[in-house]
Structure 1
Amino acid sequence: MEISCSILSFQMSITSLTTLHGRIGFVTQDDVLFPHLTVRETLTYAARLRLPRSLTNQQKEERALDVISELGLERCQDTMIGGSFVRGVSGGERKRVCIGNEIIINPSLLFLDEPTSGLDSTTALRIVQMLHDIAEDGKTVITTIHQPSSRLFHKFDKLILLGKGSLLYFGKASEAMDYFQSIGCSPLIAMNPAEFLLDLANGNINDVSVPSELEDRVQMGNLETQTRNGKPTPSVVHEQYLVEAYETRVAENEKKKLMAPIPIDEELKLKVSSPKREWGASWWEQFRILFSRGLKERQHDYLSWLRITQVVAISVILGLLWWHSDSDSPRGLQDQAGLLFFIAVFWGFFPVFTAIFTFPQERAMLNKERAVDMYRLSAYFLARTTSDLPLDLFLPILFLLIVYFMANLKTTAYSFFLSMLTVFLSIVAAQGFGLAVGATLMDVKKATTLASVTAMTFMLAGGFFVKKVPVFISWIRYLSFNYHTYRLLLKIQYGHVPPALNGVKVDSGLKETIAMVAMIFGYRLLAYLSLRRKTLQP
């Protein structure tokens, strides 16, 4: 039986629930944070995106520092958040950062979904005490907590107890035990009040004294209960009794209290009545902030020693295999053409399977931040897809510096930089394809499978292995970045060779360049439209 025990905290006057997002904060059960950002950076970016435009950047940064001080995070403010493979702050500190992301806007109402989940008792108590302090400052704090300790329970002002979705109690937490004793339910042994209430809601009355009326109804219900797999199913008679008791004794008075009119200040009325969405920053500011955040977050992955070692190792192996290759003989030309084909394939596949993970991995963060109107989807998309470009230049340059001269390719500055530009176009086009697949499916396994099949089809239909490709399938080559990259590299290296090489006519390469640029924008447009369809917001 699944039971939800919800604690309606810290007695405050409740504002209208129709308030805009700017007046409500919500902390999810899972900590959705960027692992490579520090505590200060995380809260500063949140402040710059969520606080009103009327505040300057300096004022927003000061607000972030105030929240750090309020939450007691000064000691770890320059420590990375961390994650599964990144060492960072503790679980309690991470949870406080999540809370800081919401209280930074000074909300009137703060919701938290199991803020003590996975924390030890001392850390959990510290979190709840902090929430109590926030409530005493004039905020309404509502949180759900399963199995709170007795110390946590006594911190709450109001309590909602639910059993199978039915309301069993609503009122002051300090009066909950007196109420249940008044209806004949009390613990037989000394126990945590929260455990006692959960036992009642869950139907576990072994250590609970119940009135004779309820015992008779439970016994009668058990006799009438049908069995499943040879075992009796749990009786719900005691739950019916608790629901009826609440409805007859408490519900009416509590409903009258809740229905009483609550004064709302005029400023809040204007905000609620205004349908216009208010952004904390202009589109351009959103783009700049998200670009900076993305660059800081992903530089650790892009410039990791593992990835650098991978690229360097492959480039050295290629350089040794094609060591000082000769382009003067037909056989040497074919050998070098094989190297160029591998370069086109490698820098086509490598970025695809990196970009696929982009939106599926950030889906939780995107949904969370978009739900509170932190930024426009267009600003996020453009910043996300352009913040990778500076990082994308490093590895290809390192790769070509090793391979190009070891393999004795055309040693002119013009040819080298054109080859570098071609590889860069291939990377950006391949990334666009990976982004489109990832945004369309939003599932890493499905996206990886589709990308593998599609990329393989692109390569096979390009005419590299089958010279005479059937007309009904040959059109696929024009959608392939591998195909156009390979043709451009051949034209750059062998523009001096009069006859066609591997069926590639020597010309300016304008058609291939135009096709690559079209794919760069086309695949990204498809990714944006898919992402917009998933989020259903502009």
Structure 2
Amino acid sequence: METQMADIEANSSSGQSSSIFNKVDRSVILKFQEVVYTVDIKQQGWLKKNNKDSIQKQILKGVTGMVLPGELLAMLGPSGSGKTTLLTALGGRLGGKLGGTISYNGKPFTSIMKRNTGFVTQDDVLYPHLTVTETLVFTALLRLPNSLTSQEKTRHAEDVIRHLGLTRCKNSIIGGPLLRGISGGERKRVSIGQEMLINPSLLFLDEPTSGLDSTTAQRIVSTLWELAKGGRTIVMTIHQPSSRLFYMFHKVLLLSEGNPLFFGKGSEVMDYFHGVGYLPSVAMNPSDFLLDLANGISSDDSTQEDQNEVKQKLVLAYKSNLDENLIAELQEVEEHLNDVPDQKKAERWSTTWVQQFTVLLKRDVKERRHESFDVLKIAQVLVIAFLCGLLWWQSDTSHIQDQSGLLFFYTGFWGFFPLFQAIFTFPQERQMLAKERSSGMYRLSSYFMSRTIGDLPMELVLPTMFCIITYWMAGLKADIGSFICAWLVLLLSVLVAQGLGLALGAIVMDLKSATVLGSVIMLSFTLAGGYYVQHVPAFISWIKYISISLYTYKLLIGSQYTKDQTYQCGNQTCLVADYPAIKSIGLNGQGISLVALLLMLVFYRVVAYVALMRVGVPKK
């Protein structure tokens, strides 16, 4: 890796850009022997005996193979055959009950190998509002080591854009389901480009041609073939390639219900099945013929029993004809792997925490600028603010009920608004977080801090605008100190509610469920906030001690009134502290309320951070 980066640096300094088709520094021999993977399927329905009842299902049933540097292995099979599961296991991203042996140059998967491995998922997980150039430049800044300057990393990203044929669309946004952007083939090449930035020795791709036309699929596989020529080890899954794609594969692995039916050179596959008694009745695409066999279909009139029999015969034929020879070949290669020197120990992260935070913050701001300056969101706050100002126009202390109602409306509106904004944060980015954490792109802490801080400007600007408008229109205490106090309390409550939303979104990771749960919790806090119910029964009064609304309302009341302050009640003067709606809350304990909100501010964010730690990490 260090040599490769030194070469790139030398090329950059001499005015020449490096090529993604250059040879890699270190080749990788990938071996996998008798790989078995089992999952527990929980029984569903009311007939199950207990919650611990589960059924074990074997997804992979002893798969063996080897891929050498410069080879392109294609894994074929019908849906549910275990292709993606095996690919994920080989990429070091599959936990659970995984058996067998997977080695990389004779050694297990390590963090160093992780840094030299690229993994392209079937779904192109990309930010829709970033351009092609921005997407690859931000990835380069995060994944390339500090031996390169920022300018050199940018030039490296531009080199990838040029070699993958993305120059025409480099300034176009990626787009999404509801946002027009680049084409599907260009999106796939951007995903491949993200992995090629690190010049990986080992590259995995899950269905890279899925949903693409034959010409675009041909272009992508041709690119992969050229990459393999540079000494890379490339493994991909593919569902039903055309005949001209099929003959570009150096090796083919055919799976059926987790069983291997063939492993070897793509040019020998038809001869092998002819040798075991299976030959297509008419001239056809080899991949179509292989998929028919993997489904147990050997003729047009095959019945279900015939299909199961065909599958069993093919499994037995593989074990008797290919398995022993393949194991012998693996052992022969194993003897030569002892001469391969160990990789030098490298730092776990390519960049520092500050660099990661800075780049992620810039990326978040660019990606979410359309949300931050959402006209509807700003108009919503402004309309509600002016409406409140008009409804509570210049109310004074004699209308203490009205004023206390406005202060409690502060707590309600600015409890729900930031809560629901924050709930959407992590569920929407779950796939992106899982993808980037799996590749070791950055620390979770740098992502969490950049993600939460990036939303702060609009999270704080909107309540500030709201407070300025309503406070002075409604005629609250005309004192700059009281205004600043009320404003700071409102901002604090917004941050606490935002933290609760972040925690709920990170824990549940389902927008619908998290929204329902957030509504129930915030409504409970509002009902126990001391405004609607002043005499709460003892058995349920504990809710008020965890209520954001109660502590916020108490601090807002304290910002407007003092213990010895009076107001005109009828023909006499009364103490504000004796007013029922305020007496139940009390003007004491302002410090305790402040401390409680500060503790919640920290607690909810810690919960959100801990909940995110499970995203992108294989389950053991």
Short-chain TM bin: 0.7 to 0.9
Letter in 1 for 2:607: L
1:310 is aligned, of 358, 365, 380, to 380
Match of 1:79 in 2: 172
Partner of 2:80: none
Distance in 2 (CA, whole Å) between partners of 1:158 and 1:318 is: 70
Aligned to 2:438: 371
Q: Deviations over 1:267-325 (max 9, x none)?
A: 96134xx5x76101112222222222222222322321232232223223323322x23
Separation in structure 1 between the aligned mates of residue 282 and residue 67 of structure 2, nearest angstrom: 27
Aligned residue among 525, 528, 534 for 2:606: 525
Indicate conservation of the 8 Å contact 2:434/2:617, yes or no: no
Match of 1:227 in 2: none
In 2, are the aligned partners of 1:9 and 1:143 still within 8 Å (CA)? no
Q: Which amino acid aligns with 2:285?
A: N
Report the CA distance shift for 1:268/1:517 in structure 2 as closer, same or farther (over 3 A): farther
The answer to whether the Cα contact below 8 Å between 2:422 and 2:502 also exists between their aligned partners in 1 is yes
Q: How does 1:286-325 map to 2 (within 5 A)?
A: 286-322=356-392, 324-325=393-394
CA shift for structure 1 position 429: 0.5
Q: Which of 257, 277, 282 is 1:164 aligned to?
A: 257
Amino acid at match of 1:318: C
Structure 1 residues 3, 124: CA separation in 2 closer, same or farther (over 3 Å shift)? farther
Name 1:252's counterpart in structure 2. 324
Please say if 1:345 is aligned against 2:412: yes
Instruction: Give the structure 1 partner of residue 70 of structure 2.
Output: 12
Whole-angstrom distance in 1 between the partners of 2:438 and 2:341: 20
Q: 1:325 to 1:292 in 2, by over 3 A?
A: same
Report if aligned partners of 2:138, 2:359 keep a CA contact under 8 Å in 1: yes
Q: Distance in 1 between matches of 2:203 and 2:211?
A: 21
Alignment partners' CA distance in 2, 1:102 and 1:29: 14
Structure 1 residue 51, shift from structure 2 partner: 1.7
- Shift of residue 191 of structure 1? 1.8
- Paired AA for residue 515 in structure 1: A
TM-score normalised to the size of structure 1?
0.86
Structural mapping, 1:131-530, within 5 Å: 131-206=224-299, 235-261=307-333, 269-271=342-344, 274=345, 278-322=348-392, 324-329=393-398, 332-495=399-562, 497-498=565-566, 499-500=576-577, 501=579, 502-503=582-583, 504-506=585-587, 509-530=590-611
1:139 Cα shift? 1.2
Q: Quote the Cα distance in structure 2 between the aligned partners of 1:393 and 1:6.
A: 57
For residues 394 and 67 of structure 2, the distance between their equivalents in structure 1, rounded to whole angstroms, comes to 75
Instruction: For structure 1, list consecutive stretches of 5 or more residues without a partner in the other structure.
Output: 209-217, 223-231
Question: Structure 2 vs 1, CA of residues 82 and 6 (structure 1 numbering), >3 Å: closer, same or farther?
Answer: farther
Q: Matched residue of 1:141: which SS?
A: strand
CA RMSD of aligned residues (A): 3.1
Letter in 1 for 2:342: K
SS at match of 1:459: helix
- Aligned residue pairs total 509
Looking at structure 1, the residues matched to 428 and 339 of structure 2 have their Cα atoms a distance apart, in angstroms, of: 42
Q: 1 or 2, which has the higher helix percentage?
A: 1
- Structure 2 gaps of 5+ residues are 1-58, 73-103, 567-575
Q: Describe the shift of the 1:413–1:78 C-alpha distance in structure 2 as closer, same or farther (beyond 3 A).
A: farther
**1:507 to partner: Cα distance:** 6.3
Q: 1:34 to 1:6 in 2, by over 3 A?
A: farther
| Deviation larger for 26-35 or 252-261 | 252-261
The separation in 2 between residues aligned to 1:115 and 1:246, in whole angstroms, is: 28
In the TM superposition, residue 425 of structure 1 has moved relative to its aligned partner by: 0.8
AA of the residue aligned to 2:600: M
Q: Deviations over 1:320-364 (max 9, x none)?
A: 322x232142xx221122122112111111111221222222222
The CA deviation string for residues 183-235 of structure 1, in whole angstroms up to 9 with x for no partner, is: 33222223211111111211222359xxxxxxxxx8xxx7xxxxxxxxx5563
Q: Give the distance between the partners of 2:481 and 2:174, measured in 1 at CA.
A: 45
Instruction: Work out the percentage of aligned pairs sharing the same amino acid.
Output: 49
Aligned counterparts of 2:171 and 2:421: Cα–Cα separation in 1? 29
Distance change in 2, residues 1:313/1:267 (3 Å):
farther
**Deviation at residue 152 of structure 1 after TM alignment:** 1.9
Aligned to 2:98: none
**Which secondary structure state, in structure 1, belongs to the residue aligned with residue 179 of structure 2?**
coil
Verify the 8 A CA contact 2:69 2:231 in the aligned structure 1: no
Q: Distance in 2 between matches of 1:342 and 1:356?
A: 21
Counterpart for residue 213 of structure 2: 120
Q: Check 1:249–1:393 CA distance in 2 against 1; reply closer, same or farther (3 A cut).
A: same
The equivalent residue for 2:222 is 129
Q: Distance in 2 between matches of 1:298 and 1:372?
A: 23
Deviates more, 1:154-163 or 1:408-417: 408-417
Who is 1:215 aligned against?
none
Alpha-carbon deviation of 1:265?
10
Q: Distance in 2 between matches of 1:298 and 1:233?
A: 56
Give the alignment's TM-score, normalised by structure 2: 0.75
Bigger shift: 110-119 or 248-257?
Answer: 248-257
Amino acid across the alignment from 1:327: D
Corresponding residue SS for 2:343: helix
The code of the aligned residue for 1:12 comes to G
Q: Would the alpha carbon gap of residues 172 and 387 (structure 1) be closer, same or farther in structure 2, given more than 3 Å must change?
A: same
